Amino acid sequence: MRYPFLAGAAVIVMTAALAACGSSSDEKAEKSAAAGPAASSGPEAGSGSPSTTDPQTSSATSEPPKLPETELTPATGSFTKKQKEYLVDRVPKGMDPAAVLQTGQETCDRLTYLVKVDRDTAVGAIVTGEIADAKPAVAHLCVQHQDLVERAAGGYADGTYEGRQLRPGRYRDVTPTKTCSWQIAGANGKDLASGSSDDGKRTAITIPRAARAFTSTGCYAWLPEGDNG
C-alpha cells in the first residue's frame, strides 16, 4: 500500500533543505564580497609586495654573539694578558671562557708532542687542518711554535691549486700513503711533471714558475724546503 502523504512530506523536507543551503551560500558570498581583497589569503594576496625576513630566523642562522672582553673572567682566579687576548671574540655568550682557553692549550700541547716525534709531521698537521686554529693558539699561548705556523703557511695539503695559489720552489711530502700521486701542469694543461708512490717513501718535487696548476692526492701534505717558506 502506498502512502501519498509520506511522499509529499519528503518532497517538502528536501525543498526546504535545498533552500537553506542556497541561502547559506548566498550569505557567504555576500560576506566575502563585503570584506573585500583584504580578507583573501594565499600566495597571490602578497604578490607585488617586497619580501621580508623574520629577524628571529635571520639571527638563528648567524653566528652566536660573543662574550664582551669585560666579561672574560674565569670562575676562579684570573687570566693572563696573553690568555685574555686569545679569548677575545672567541667565546660565545653562555659558554665558560675557561673551556675555550682549554681548547687552545690542548692545541699547543698537541704541537709540543708532535714536535718531539717529528717536526715535519707537526707542520703537516697544521697545513692539513688536522690541528685546527693553530695560528691564534700559537700567537698567544705557545709562541715557541711560531716557526711551525710560518712554515705551514708555505705548504700544500692534498687538493688542486692554481694561479696565485702556486709558489715556485722545492717541496717534500709528509707521511705519504702508498697511493700518493701528484701532477704539475703548465699552460693549456701541459704536463710538466707527475708521479706516484706505491712504497710510501717520501718524495721531493719542484714547482717551476711555468706551473699553472698543482694537484696532490694521498700525499697528506707538502712542505717547502730551503728558502721556499
Interval 127-183: pLDDT, tens:
999 999 999 999 999 999 999 999 999 999 999 999 999 999 999 998 878 889 999
φ, ψ dihedrals at 77, nearest 5°: 75, -150
CB 145 within 8 A of CB 108: yes
CB 84 within 8 A of CB 72: yes
Give the pTM: 0.67
| pLDDT tops 60 at residue 36 | no
What is the Cα–Cα distance from 173 to 182, expressed in whole angstroms?
Answer: 10
The pLDDT value given to residue 117: 93
Unique residue bearing C-alpha cell 696548476: 213
| pLDDT tops 80 at residue 45 | no
| pLDDT tops 70 at residue 30 | no
| pLDDT tops 90 at residue 93 | no
What is the Cα–Cα distance from 116 to 114, expressed in whole angstroms?
Answer: 5
Of residues 75 and 115, the one with the higher pLDDT is 115
What is the Cα–Cα distance from 112 to 145, expressed in whole angstroms?
Answer: 8
The pLDDT value given to residue 8: 39
Q: How far from each other are the two terminal CA atoms of the chain, in whole angstroms?
A: 113
Confidence of residue 228 (pLDDT cuts 50, 70, 90): low
φ, ψ dihedrals at 116, nearest 5°: -70, -35
The pLDDT value given to residue 27: 46
HEC sequence for 13-81: HHHHHHHHHHHHHHHHHHHHHHHCHHHCCCHHHHCCCCCCCCHHHHHHHCCCCECCHHHCCCCCCCCCH
Burial classification of residue 137, based on how many CB atoms lie within 10 Å of its CB (0-12 exposed, 13-18 middle, 19 or more buried): buried
Report, as an integer, the average pLDDT of 46-52.
37
What is the Cα–Cα distance from 33 to 111, expressed in whole angstroms?
Answer: 75
φ, ψ dihedrals at 97, nearest 5°: -55, -30
Across the chain, what does the average pLDDT equal?
Answer: 77
